[in-house]
Structure 1
Amino acid sequence: MNDASPDALVIGSGPSALAIATALCKEGVKVHGLSNKEPNEPWPYTYGIWGKEVDELGMEHLLEHRWRNTVSYFGEGSNQKNSQHNNATEHNIEYGLFNKIKLQEYWLNQCEEYNLVWHKGHAKDALVGDKHTTIKTREGFTLKARLVIDASGYDPVFIKNKSEGDIAIQTCYGVVGKFNSPPVESGQFVLMDYRCNHLSNKEREEPPTFLYAMDMGGGSYFLEETSLGLSPPVELETLRKRLSMRLKSRGLEITDLEHEELGIYLPMNMPLPNMNQGIFGFGGAASMVHPASGYMFGGLLRRAPGVAKIIADKMNNLEATPHEISKAAWNELWPAEMVRKQALYKFGLEKLMRFSEDQLRDFFKGFFTLPTEQWYGFLTNKLDVNELIKAMVKMFIIATWNVRWGLMIMKGREFNLLWNFLKRY
């Protein structure tokens, strides 16, 4: 192999790619990057994280906003009032939003410090050999590395997985701007607002959506209408209409539209990758999205260093093949415990997808009465399998009969999803 060839070639330049690339660099791995855009091109989306998570990672200095007043609203059905103060569920855990520019610079500066070389192009073909993997690009040039890491996102270039049927998609439509009246309290972050007094009885029979909102300071607010996850997904135009109706019902008007987020399509229950392939994946390409919450950011930040260490250790054996290095990395990213939890989370998501508007609101009202360590651990994927089962059993016990009935009825592929968990447990 050419001496100029790297140990690892990372495909992509988004958060997942930069997280694993810098972690590898810190382990002494020689890394190159391949991206179809400039690595410093601004990221289009926002990235949130719980305050406890970011503090544990020592990255709190990269936050742009941090809220102490974190709440949700679940309402009381058709008799809901318009008041934003109605029935707030207080979470008592801080929530933060990364400064995207600072976070990107933080990683890119480390890449530069460790002499990471960037190549611009579109990965097209891959040949995994005994000593290295060869990547051919659309542009006609060739790259080689001992390990190729596909971190190109939810529609990866090379990562293969087994089809498990329709994918549940979380969809969002949001705006940032100023309003004629504050849409949320000063300094407040709203994780979920499921109140639906702005909808007709017929509209409440349609798939439920909720408002995700926050005070951005300086008179600006971020409001996003969100569908938790559905197949087929809730259309962007439906979310736009619902946000407009929600604002109108509260007497709110946008006086200065600063930014329009024209839709996020987040696959919630992607099948696990084929872990016998000689190319490794990370981030969305490796199905790391939390199936029950849509969270991934905290997980990829926590897990990148451990995965990088395994890769570096395996590479110390100069006889290790790309398949052997990749296999070790896959086993670190998806150990048996994580695979079991993923199966259980997918079963839970399938349940939530079938819930009516009333059931979903009742479910979350009950969910956030669980002890903080349980609901927080559930959302951040920090519980082990036994702790996860205990949390779910407790949720069933405290749930309303409306929710219990929905949890007990087996429809569609729910039985198969539950069996996938049980046979691994």
Structure 2
Amino acid sequence: MRATPDLVVLGLGPAGRAVAHRAAAAGLTVRAFDPAPDARWRRTFGLWADELPPWLPAGVVAAVSSPQVIARTRFDLRREYAVLDVDRLQDALSLDGVDVRADRAGRDGHGGAFVVDARGPAPSGTPDVPRQTAAGVLVPVGAHDELWMDWRVAPGVPDGAPASFLYAVRVSEDALLLEETCLAGAPALTVAALEARLRARLAARGVAAGELHERVDFPLLSPGPRRGDGWCGVGVRGTTLHPATGYSVAAALAFADDAVAALRAGRNPVSRGDVAAHRLREAGLRALLSMSPDEQRDFFDVFFGLPDRRVRAFLSARTPTTTNAAAMAAAFVAAPWGLRRRLARAVTPPASPRPARRR
């Protein structure tokens, strides 16, 4: 491989590996850095089935379901949700033709190569970065309803305690993942607290559950810019992790092909419009964090009652700014007055201090 590749990828998690895989398949020369490039992934990855890229083999889908949402009301999402076979996904994103180096590397020192930074969250230096946390168990299919979000309060949770919801989706032909989730918190509920809620919830419903299968704890934001001359971020360092939902795998897979097209055209794969749209989704996260537990349940009852196109627009981390803003505006208009005031305060940037007048 020549001394200076076309593309350098930092980090080989799902986002970085997808970019490296698609760029190499398209004929670009790619170098990738990761301290443990052969480490196997262990997390569960889900996405809407209609967002699956056509180049992924069908075998990467482990299960498909049509889950519902319960906030104050039960909603049929009218959309299939797919959970991926994580081993098959990783194998499908082969690194054939990629110069893989088992090492850490920064953004600098790569000659004229374009750099995609997929190293995961950057150190924040502060403990109050919003995070998503979850605790999950496996149960047989049929032991519980399939629900993408169940906001009903778990037994024993006192009034005013931080909210969490149950995520109950099919992960194979014979197994469901039941996961108690803190959508966003600063600080977030601990995995141990969520496990206690999950077991109380399932015991009240007569569902037997074994040992903990999955522990989730990741930041929804990472400090620093999203793009610059000769580089861009992806995942939590870029614009493909949705700060108000935590979902990212569909956007990361779609970004891989967009990145190849942009690099061939001499453009940065992350546009200024992408950054603006991401900032708007950050406003959605601020709004969520500002709500009381009851207000969160009220909000999701309003949100999932919106027209389907509005719900889809906001849930995607790839929606343009105008479409995303229209979805947020629709939720604002549909919300009761008290919740509107909360949303307005949360999404309005703080005013810059006025300079003191000279006397």
Cα deviation, 1:151-207, whole Å, max 9, x if unaligned, reads: 222238xxxx9x99942111111112449x7122xxx3x11111015134xx23111
Query: Relative to structure 1, is the Cα distance of residues 384 and 7 closer, same or farther in structure 2, using a 3 angstrom cutoff?
Result: closer
2:185 is matched with which residue? 230
The equivalent position to 1:121 in structure 2, one of 95, 99, 103, is 103
Cα deviation, 1:33-80, whole Å, max 9, x if unaligned, reads: 2221243x320111111011116666554211111x3201124xxxxx
The equivalent position to 2:213 in structure 1, one of 260, 278, 282, is 260
Q: Does 1:191 align with 2:148?
A: yes
1:35 is matched with which residue? 34
4+ residue runs over 4 A deviation: 55-61, 163-166
2:237 is matched with which residue? 285
Larger radius of gyration: 1
Q: CA deviation at 1:337?
A: 2.1
In proportion to residue count, which structure has more helix?
A: 1
Aligned ranges 1:157-176 → 2 under 5 Å: 166-176=128-138
Contact 2:62–2:172, Cα closer than 8 Å, also in 1: no
Contact 2:130–2:219, Cα closer than 8 Å, also in 1: yes
1:73 is matched with which residue? 70
Q: CA deviation at 1:383?
A: 3.6
CA distance in structure 2 between the partners assigned to 1:218 and 1:369 by the alignment: 30
Letter aligned with residue 90 of structure 2: Q
2:194 is matched with which residue? 239
The equivalent position to 2:44 in structure 1, one of 35, 46, 49, is 46
Contact 1:20–1:282, Cα closer than 8 Å, also in 2: no
CA distance in structure 2 between the partners assigned to 1:64 and 1:172 by the alignment: 21
Report the secondary structure of 1:205's partner residue. Answer: coil
CA distance in structure 2 between the partners assigned to 1:385 and 1:127 by the alignment: 31
Contact 1:6–1:30, Cα closer than 8 Å, also in 2: yes
CA distance in structure 2 between the partners assigned to 1:248 and 1:44 by the alignment: 27
Q: CA deviation at 1:237?
A: 1.4
Contact 2:167–2:179, Cα closer than 8 Å, also in 1: yes
Report the secondary structure of 1:173's partner residue. Answer: strand
1:393 is matched with which residue? 329
Query: Relative to structure 1, is the Cα distance of residues 351 and 377 closer, same or farther in structure 2, using a 3 angstrom cutoff?
Result: same
Report the TM-score when normalising by structure 2. 0.87
CA distance in structure 1 between the partners assigned to 2:108 and 2:255 by the alignment: 27
Q: Does 1:94 align with 2:93?
A: no
2:119 is matched with which residue? 152
CA distance in structure 2 between the partners assigned to 1:363 and 1:235 by the alignment: 23
Query: Relative to structure 1, is the Cα distance of residues 339 and 281 closer, same or farther in structure 2, using a 3 angstrom cutoff?
Result: closer
Letter aligned with residue 207 of structure 1: P
Query: Relative to structure 1, is the Cα distance of residues 102 and 402 closer, same or farther in structure 2, using a 3 angstrom cutoff?
Result: same
Query: Relative to structure 1, is the Cα distance of residues 11 and 219 closer, same or farther in structure 2, using a 3 angstrom cutoff?
Result: same
Cα deviation, 1:3-51, whole Å, max 9, x if unaligned, reads: 4553333222211111110222133211122221243x32011111101
CA distance in structure 1 between the partners assigned to 2:263 and 2:166 by the alignment: 41
1:380 is matched with which residue? 316
Letter aligned with residue 19 of structure 2: I
CA distance in structure 1 between the partners assigned to 2:172 and 2:261 by the alignment: 40
Cα deviation, 1:206-239, whole Å, max 9, x if unaligned, reads: 1100011123455432111111111112112111
Report the secondary structure of 1:204's partner residue. Answer: coil
Report the secondary structure of 2:132's partner residue. Answer: strand
Q: CA deviation at 1:393?
A: 2.3
Report the TM-score when normalising by structure 1. 0.74
RMSD: 2.9
Contact 1:24–1:309, Cα closer than 8 Å, also in 2: no
CA distance in structure 2 between the partners assigned to 1:10 and 1:148 by the alignment: 6
Cα deviation, 1:87-145, whole Å, max 9, x if unaligned, reads: 5311010000111111111111xx32xx223222333x6643xxx44xxxxxxxxxxx7
CA distance in structure 2 between the partners assigned to 1:251 and 1:273 by the alignment: 48
Q: CA deviation at 1:312?
A: 3.7
Q: CA deviation at 1:292?
A: 1.6
Q: CA deviation at 1:253?
A: 2.0
Identical columns (%): 26
Contact 2:166–2:180, Cα closer than 8 Å, also in 1: yes
The equivalent position to 2:205 in structure 1, one of 232, 238, 250, is 250
